[in-house]
Amino acid sequence: MGRAIGTKTARGVLLVNLATFLWATNALVGRWLRTEVGPFTLSAARVIIGAVIFAGLLRQVPPSERQAGAERWWLWGMTLSGVVLFSAVYYAGLRFTTAVNATLVHGFTPLLTHWLAAGILREPLSRRNVVAALAAWLGVVLIVAGNGTPQGWRVNAGDVLVLLSAALWSVYSVLARRVTERRSALAATGLATLWGAPVAVLLGAVEVIWLPPRWTPMTMAGMVYVGAVPMVIGFWAWTEGVRVLGTQRAALFYNTLPLYGAVLAHWLFGEPLTWRHGVGGVIIGVASWWATRPKAGVHALPNRRCNSSSE
């Protein structure tokens, strides 16, 4: 039994790390395309490509899982928060703020997810997860500090948009946990993507009127990449990882995104890596490992809205 639990946890950890790695590449490509394509146009292209791929993959899903059923409104919540708005708002934020600020602000995502999961799903908020989340946040601060100084950090419209995108992703993660209780991650992610495609296209079409994209081979290649790889594989891996690990534990691994982003930026763009990146990466890794260790019992923080049992 213990070995089975360990294997299941390892699979969940691998999946959420795959997702954050792919999203790190999405952030780099999105930052590169921000002057070529508007945020809602890029998001629409991403969703369209993802919808086409998911339409084929959903044929492998049992018919019962392709029906909305009683979870219709939960699925719509996933659609609007994670598919339609998240990437568009994030890309919009990158047009006005620095990568340092964007990464730092997104470090709030696990903490936001913890509290939303406790309030909406009534998942016990354990002391271990809270301490691990705060420790991982310290790791994020150290990583982004390697690219700038605290005196240089300023809050602007871009920071607010990135913070909003972090909140949207927290909502998506919580709703995904609820929806995948009765259907596979593939079905949940695929349905949300297909439902979100018409809305994303409408928003992108409106944006093109006043912010036309610059169509070049490299631009189109970048749009295909963000639609096929981070959108399809990344979303599926994250949703399945949330199903396996639970919302709170999976959310802790979201903090690996700035670590992967820093390494990729160094490798692809020659940006320097400092000791802060190394120490921050170790803190994030240890905090995430500690939070997912099997434990005999969960000592939940006082919360009248939470059930006493844990996953």
Q: Is 70 exceeded by the pLDDT of residue 310?
A: no
Residue 16's pLDDT is 93
Torsion of CA 160, 166, 167, 172, to 10 degrees: 150
Rounded distance between C-alpha atoms, residue 61 and residue 88, angstroms: 29
The β-bridge partners of 300 are 126
User: What are the pLDDT digits (tens) for 39-56?
Assistant: 999 999 989 998 999 999
With residues binned 3-state (H G I as helix, E B as strand, rest as coil), the percentages for the chain, rounded to 5, are 80, 0, 20
Query: Whole-angstrom Cα distance, residue 302 to residue 288?
Result: 23
Residue 207 has pLDDT above 60, yes or no: yes
pTM above 0.85, yes or no: no
The share of the chain scoring above pLDDT 70, in percent, equals: 83
Is pLDDT above 80 for 269? no
pLDDT level of residue 158 (50, 70, 90 thresholds): confident
Q: pLDDT confidence of 306, banded at 50, 70, 90?
A: very low
Checking if the pLDDT of 111 tops 80, the result is no
Mean residue pLDDT of the chain comes to 80
Between the CA of residue 35 and those of 78, 95, 141, 219, 221, what are the distances in Å? 28, 8, 27, 10, 15
pLDDT of 151 over the 80 cut? no
Given a cut of 60, is residue 4 above it in pLDDT?
A: no
Nearest to 65 by CA among 57, 304, 272: 57
Q: Examine the pLDDT at 297 and tell me if it is beyond 70.
A: no
311 compared with 241, residue with greater pLDDT: 241
Neighbour count for residue 274 (Cβ, 10 Å): 15
Selection from 26, 21, 24 nearest residue 225 by Cα: 26
Q: Tell me, what's the pLDDT at 72?
A: 86
pLDDT on residue 298: 44
pLDDT exceeds cutoff 90 at 71: no
- The answer to whether residue 304 scores a pLDDT higher than 50 is no
